[in-house]
Structure 1
């Protein structure tokens, strides 16, 4: 069984619709997944942009969303996920807040990686971890990983 992540708003490698960006309503895209390993205990999601600030000369990876302890009963997240599945915890993005922050690249066409991890544990309460803190906590617990990459360039 292979872990798969999709969105009804965009396909792998295609443009993310403006509604999910700072040029639109800045709402999270709908995400669906399947193929979670039977021995998984929770899921984690990280959305980031490795092309910041300029894809021609990237200097850092900008983190847009951090979620963990997503329960296995959830098979996705709706558009504008204001209410998360029970038990889901949020981490801190690079705007220093929780929640989704959509694409808003200052220059060029950026790649946005939506990374889903199946873990063999429910993680302890990490507070509001950064991406790095969550990745550290996940070490040795990742059973499967998949990603969905969308693109965005401001007009």
Structure 2
């Protein structure tokens, strides 16, 4: 059973475009975006992203990857905040734990695996196909006051009052 999509288009929140050289919207995630840490035979490499057409007034970005189909309340795979407004792409691997491929000032939050960085797709075997919602959030502030040890749930709360627009891709993956 598929659960609610917390990033579905909403009135008053503009849409803009995001593309990836790593995977196409609606397609199966490649090995690089699957998890090694969680035993799915992947590399835990965050995907390459390029976005355009953000709403006027955008002062920074946040990027999140969320699996709403995971047991319980879903699973946060990645959250990064305070990406400067003049940055419109991230290279593959920007979500590494050492932060070396992120723009200056950007902060990764702890994912649900317990570390600040990207953890790849790893649905429970036999649980069916999961959706991985990759969202670039355009914000009306230069910085969100969040730290590495904050959770993506704290980010979701902070986003609610600062979101101008969203760009999104959906990857899918299933382990039999």
Would you say same fold, with TM above 0.5? Answer: yes
Alpha-carbon shift at residue 96 of structure 1 (Å): 1.4
Correspondent of 2:133 among 92, 95, 113: 113
- Could you say which residue in structure 1 is the equivalent of 2:9? none
- Could you say which residue in structure 1 is the equivalent of 2:166? 145
Rounded to whole Å, the distance in 2 between the matches of 1:2 and 1:137 is 19
Please say if 1:132 is aligned against 2:165.
no
Tell me how large the CA RMSD over aligned residues is.
1.6
SS of 1:93 mapped into structure 2: coil
> Runs of 4+ in structure 1 displaced over 2 angstroms?
none
Consecutive unaligned residues of structure 1, counting only runs of 5 or more, are 54-58
- Could you say which residue in structure 1 is the equivalent of 2:30? 17
C-alpha contact 2:81 2:144 (8 A) present in aligned 1: no
Alpha-carbon shift at residue 143 of structure 1 (Å): 0.8
TM-score (ref. length: structure 2): 0.79
Rounded to whole Å, the distance in 2 between the matches of 1:124 and 1:147 is 20
Please say if 1:122 is aligned against 2:135.
no
Q: Which one has a larger percent strand, Structure 1 or Structure 2?
A: 1
SS of 2:124 mapped into structure 1: coil
Alpha-carbon shift at residue 38 of structure 1 (Å): 2.8
